[in-house]
Amino acid sequence: MAPMSAIDFIGITLGFLLTILIFSYLLGDNPFFRLATHIYIGVSAAYVALVTVNNVLIPRLITPLLTGTDSERLFSVLLLIPSLFLFAKATPFRKAGSWVMAILVGIGAATAVGGAITGTLFPQLLGSMNSFRLSTGTPQPFFVRLINGLILVIGTTTTLIYFHFGTRSEPGRPNRRKAVIDKIGQVGEIFIAITFGALFAGAYLAALAAMIDRLSYLWNYLNDIGVQILSAF
């Protein structure tokens, strides 16, 4: 086995120490765990800053201003103006950057809503309709596809009804939904509980896989260190 270089040894050792610091949380919150989380957050923030500078500021702002055409320089200046107003949010003149934040929030909300409609709602509607097609090119029999479609439609409908929390208030009557809506909402609550259980199981399996990977890393590190020590004699 070839000996490790100094850089590889430092990197592997730092990874080993940080892993031990993270695992120290099993004994409760402590300064070592907080130190590891602060290092992780700091490195993540620095990485995001470098990516932003190298992939956004330099190619889209600085380079067009220095070597771009007149139209590119004008476009960069137009983008620079709202950016400067956005920096005002960190100063006592924070109200000057409110209109830029409003634009960013509006664009973000529109993108999220559009993505939810085109990426989630429409595919679910098409999937529900395709579940009742007589021929879909799948080897499943029609009875199985019919049951799957019914479960999908019932789950979607009852879940939406579950989030119908109230009705229009009337004089002399409490603002409550009808008993039949409550019963249907209870069915939707079952589907929600099943969904959350599946999501939790997926998150748990992902965390378990990450833990196994780190334990394997620790074992390989200790094994490599042992081999290096034995080879030195």
Share of the chain above pLDDT 70, in %: 86
Phi first, then psi: what are they for 173, rounded to 5°? -130, 135
Highest mean pLDDT of the ranges 7-16, 83-92, 191-200, 202-211:
191-200
Structure confidence at residue 110 (pLDDT): 93
Mean pLDDT along residues 180-204: 89
Mean pLDDT along residues 24-45: 90
Structure confidence at residue 169 (pLDDT): 52
| Helices 70-87, 98-116: crossing angle, 10 deg rounding | 100
Structure confidence at residue 65 (pLDDT): 85
What are the residue boundaries of the structural domains of the chain, listed by start?
Answer: 1-67, 140-165+175-233
Mean pLDDT along residues 46-70: 88
* CA–CA gap between residue 184 and residue 167 (Å, rounded): 15
Mean pLDDT along residues 158-180: 68
Mean pLDDT along residues 34-41: 92
Structure confidence at residue 11 (pLDDT): 78
Torsional sign, CA 80, 86, 87, 92? positive
Amino acid symbol at 91: T
Please say if the pLDDT value at position 95 is more than 90: no
Please say if the pLDDT value at position 232 is more than 80: no
Q: Are 191 and 163 in contact (CB under 8 A)?
A: no
Please say if the pLDDT value at position 61 is more than 90: no
Share of the chain above pLDDT 90, in %: 18
With vertex at residue 26, the alpha carbon angle to CA 29 and CA 45, rounded to the nearest 5 degrees, is 60
* CA–CA gap between residue 181 and residue 44 (Å, rounded): 47
Give a three-class secondary structure readout of 98-144. HHHHHHHHHHHHHHHHHHHHHHHHHHHHHHHHHCCCCCCCCCCCHHH
Spatial CB neighbours of 133, under 8 Å, sequence gap ≥ 6: 145
